[in-house]
Amino acid sequence: MNGNLLIFSGRESKNLAEKMAKHLEMPLGNLEVKRHSDGEVWCKYHQNIRGATVAIVQSTNPPAENLMELLVAIDAAKRASAAKIFAIIPYFGYARQDRKPEPRVSITAKLVANLLTTAGADRIITIDLHASQIQGFFDIPVDHVYASKELLPYWSKYPIDTVAAPDVGAVKMARAWAKRLNAELIIIDKRRPKDNEAEILNIIGNPSGKNILIVDDMIDTGGSFVGTVKALKEKDANKIYGSVVHAVLSGKAIEAIENSPIEKLVVTDTIKKEITSEKIEVISLAKLLAEVTNNAFSNKSISSMFDSEEMKK
């Protein structure tokens, strides 16, 4: 056991948490999570956590039960006299609702931040937030981890000529990747007539004859991503790849990717997902999260784990 650090998990992220515990050479803590017959979430720690630093691993992607599990587990740890509580959220759900784009809507990302803090979390560790400013929604420390530390070495073995940002929001990420891969940059100019729909207006840059890597923080329905792939292919791009951190993959996203002209899409295991497509490969971030958690527990630098380009994203 690594000092007084204990790793627990909700049901959504148990596989990832087990891998993290293995990297830290400790057993995964015994946290029982179940639902009563009426659907209420119930948690119990089956070991003494008094005075310990408790790290709870749980992504908060829908259904809302995943978020509720995390909140209840934090509250239970606080009432069991844990010294510190780390909420390790590989995928921070509701991050897309980070502002008021129209009247009479909720800034739900801020609401979730308030809920986590009120429940008793002392530190948040999360990966590739959809909007970096969400860190400012918290009044407790937030460690924003970048999956590129694991993904970039993978893609450095491929002959990538150009990195493509599928929308304006991904430009900073794509620019950093292009610099690291010594590649050109392409930006896709699109508009969204309504949710989960995108219309490509322009391609800024020349994709003709290029091996292109599309990078983004998440892929949901896959419509925007597949549209980008097809648009680049229509402009005579050579081979097209994709690298996305969070595989939400709702609806018929996997089928759409399978039927698209993309060579390969690499995602991570921040979200538990059954993926059968031969075009999609999953890379685990367990080692990275384990190292970040251990550094946070040991009061060691986390920013030193990432280069300056990653920290600018």
DSSP one-letter code for 299:
T
Q: Locate 232 and state its tokens.
A: 């680049």
Pure H helices in the chain: 14-23, 65-79, 108-119, 148-155, 171-180, 223-234, 253-258, 286-297, 308-311
The one catalytic residue among 190, 233, 272, 287: 190
Which residues are CB-contacts of 245 (< 8 A; sequence separation ≥ 6)? 127, 128, 147, 151, 216, 217, 218, 267, 268, 270
| CB-based contact 287:24 (threshold 8 Å) | no
Instruction: End-to-end CA distance of the chain: give it in Å, rounded.
Output: 35
| Catalytic residue status for 273 | no
* 79-101 b/e (C-beta count within 10 Å ≥ 16 → b): eeebebbbbbbbbbbbbebbeee
Which residues are CB-contacts of 90 (< 8 A; sequence separation ≥ 6)? 13, 16, 57, 59, 126, 127, 269, 270, 271, 285, 289
Which residues are CB-contacts of 13 (< 8 A; sequence separation ≥ 6)? 57, 58, 59, 90, 272
**Nearest-CA neighbor of 263 among 236, 234, 229?**
229
Within 10 angstroms of residue 180's Cβ, the number of other Cβ atoms is: 17
Cis peptide before 63 (omega within 30 of 0): yes
Which residues are catalytic, by number?
190
